[in-house]
């Protein structure tokens, strides 16, 4: 019997690279596809020695062709941080629309199960708290963040259309704030910014008064949730994230303590449409997947710090 084969788009990104490792560990042949506009080949270089790992430098908004069988496709290609989708608005919209369409077409042709990486940003600046999957969101479609929010909302609609019209086996994960090794040092998200600033002894940049909340999930927990969702029968969107909510200011203080830094806080104006609260309701994931986070913040930051310490030192050398 031949090995199962999986295509992971955006596979050289932060989350995609961890997924490549997980599927190789599960005995899959892995095809990692990335155009590297925000991904980094160094995230998967250590996998090139694996005979079941294949890298393809390709843009999924163009024609996507894979020779041979495909059992699963995980669509993770997209700029995914505010600095990325503000600098790459059209590419963000294209990968969420054209890219999703192309890869769903491939899933249909191959009879492959398709998992869409969606996002908690579908909820926008939420008017309900915490956010459950039946909440339709509060998104500004013409604001600067709308290119990402609406691209993912469209991608969810397209995924459900292929499921209902063509019978494609689909799964949709709504990912909440996730952190861990291999996040880009300058991707603009809160953990890389805080970690790099703290390690350099620079002030930590906090937007607004720091009272806005986020819920931080360690990458290993997220990958486990993705694995379970892919292998479940659940078609409708499922939240995966850590429900342990904290303010950005509390998170900054946790990073300062973990790094032993003497950094201070530098307060800046709050960006447009920045969500004031973010906390996943994971009752559905607990019920249908038996999943909940296992790694607490202290342990997750400890594991992340080792990776960041090495890369900041290299960057500053």
**What are the residue numbers of the active site?**
148
Residue 54: its H or E element: strand 53-57
Q: Hunting for tokens 């843009």 — which residue is that?
A: 59
Q: How far apart are CA 189 and CA 99, in angstroms?
A: 24
Spatial distance between the Cα atoms of 287 and 206, rounded to a whole number of angstroms: 36
Residue 200: how many other CB atoms lie within 10 Å: 14
Nearest to 183 by CA among 46, 42, 89, 86: 42
CA–CA gap between residue 153 and residue 136 (Å, rounded): 10
Quote the tokens at residue 31: 């095809």
SS3 279: coil
Distance CA 316, CA 314 (A): 5
Q: Do residues 30 and 22 touch, judged by C-beta distance below 8 A?
A: no
Long-range contacts of 82-85 (CB under 8 A, 24+ apart): 82/145, 82/188, 82/189, 82/271, 83/186, 83/187, 83/188, 84/38, 84/187, 84/188, 85/145, 85/147, 85/148
């Amino acid at each position: 019997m031949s090995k199962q084969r999986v295509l992971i788009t955006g596979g050289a990104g932060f989350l995609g690279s961890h997924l490549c490792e997980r599927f190789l560990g599960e005995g899959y042949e892995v095809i990692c596809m990335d155009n590297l506009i925000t991904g980094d080949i160094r995230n998967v270089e250590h996998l090139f020695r694996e005979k079941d790992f294949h890298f393809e430098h390709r843009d999924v908004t163009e024609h996507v062709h894979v020779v041979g069988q495909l059992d699963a496709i995980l669509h993770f290609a997209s700029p995914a941080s505010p600095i990325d989708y503000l600098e790459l608005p059209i590419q963000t919209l294209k990968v969420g629309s054209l890219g999703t369409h192309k890869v769903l077409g491939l899933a249909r042709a191959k009879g492959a199960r398709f998992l869409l990486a969606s996002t908690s940003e579908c909820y926008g600046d939420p008017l309900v708290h915490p956010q459950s999957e039946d909440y339709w969101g509060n998104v500004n479609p013409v604001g600067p963040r709308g290119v990402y929010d609406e691209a993912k909302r469209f991608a969810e609609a397209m995924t459900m259309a292929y499921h209902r019209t063509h019978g494609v086996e689909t799964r949709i994960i709504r990912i909440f704030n996730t952190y861990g090794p291999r996040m880009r040092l300058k991707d603009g998200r809160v953990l890389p910014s805080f970690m790099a600033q703290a390690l350099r002894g620079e002030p930590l940049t906090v937007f607004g008064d720091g009272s806005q909340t986020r819920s931080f999930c360690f990458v290993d927990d997220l990958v486990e949730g993705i694995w379970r969702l892919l292998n479940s029968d659940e078609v409708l969107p499922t939240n995966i994230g850590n429900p342990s909510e904290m303010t950005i200011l509390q998170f900054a203080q946790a990073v300062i303590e973990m790094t032993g830094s003497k950094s201070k806080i530098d307060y800046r104006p709050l960006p447009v449409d920045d969500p004031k609260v973010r906390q996943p309701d994971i009752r559905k994931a607990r019920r249908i997947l038996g999943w909940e986070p296992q790694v607490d913040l202290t342990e997750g930051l400890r594991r992340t710090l080792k990776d960041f310490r090495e890369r900041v030192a290299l960057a500053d050398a």
